[in-house]
Amino acid sequence: MRLRLKRGVCLVSLVVACVLLWSAYAPERWLGRIRRFVRTSGDELSNIPKPQPPKERIEGRTPEGVVDEIWRMATQGQLLTPDGWRIAGGFFTEPRPFPANEKILVVCNEWGPAYEGRSDGNTKEIVVGYWDAGSIDAKLRYTPPPPENTGYVKTAFSYTLVTAPSYLMMYGPDGKTLVEKRPTGSRVWLIKGTQTPPVTTVNTAVRYVLEMREKTTDQATKENASRTLAQLLKFR
């Protein structure tokens, strides 16, 4: 056993001595090639791409689809009710409470379609064209559109959309009380910022004013409603 160990030590020592002698007297061009080989191998190892964390997938509506849905809700008059306004708030990064006394923007019945303006990959600008038909206040008084918004040129709303984490919402028996908010691991497109003023179309505005005129007991408001209806019917 000792003899084998001694032979092994001698063999290793002999190999080391040979390598040292060879490196001392070997031609410089050989040593240069060896150095370049070692450096190249090290560079190749350092250039190996590091594993990246998986990107969150984007689900749900496209940016144009989000804006179209908001305007579809506007056409149906959902933005004029607290429940509809709350649902629409889910498409914004900063939803706000229902504006009970805010002016209602009225647009002509034909609007859109939504189209993409600018995009930088992380955000998208979506534009919707419409013809301004005036506004209605809480007393059902009508205000005509400004002169620059009349004629054959459309006005436009511009929305900036970003991706945000998606959540699974669990509500209580009343359908309104949020019980649990759980991340889904994906992202969705949302309109950046807070909700714009309530919007609806001429046809829906006519129905809204008729309903509010029937509900109110204030004579002045009823008279305002009648005058407003006369103005709105000019756009039909």
SS3 for the chain, per residue? CHHHHHHHHHHHHHHHHHHHHHHHHCCHHHHHHHHHHHHHHHHHHHCCCCCCCCCCCECCCCHHHHHHHHHHHHHCCHHHCHHHHHHHHCCEEECCCCCCCCCEEEECCCCCCCEEEEECCCEEEEEEEECEEEEECCCCCEECCCHHHCCCCCEEEEEEEEEEEEEEEEECCCCCCEEEEEEEEEEEEEEEEECCCCEEEHHHHHHHHHHHHHHCCCHHHHHHHHHHHHHHHHHC
| pTM summary value | 0.70
What does the pLDDT look like over 133-168, one tens digit per residue? 999 999 999 999 988 766 666 788 999 999 998 877
What does the pLDDT look like over 176-220, one tens digit per residue? 676 677 777 789 999 999 999 999 999 999 999 999 999 999 999
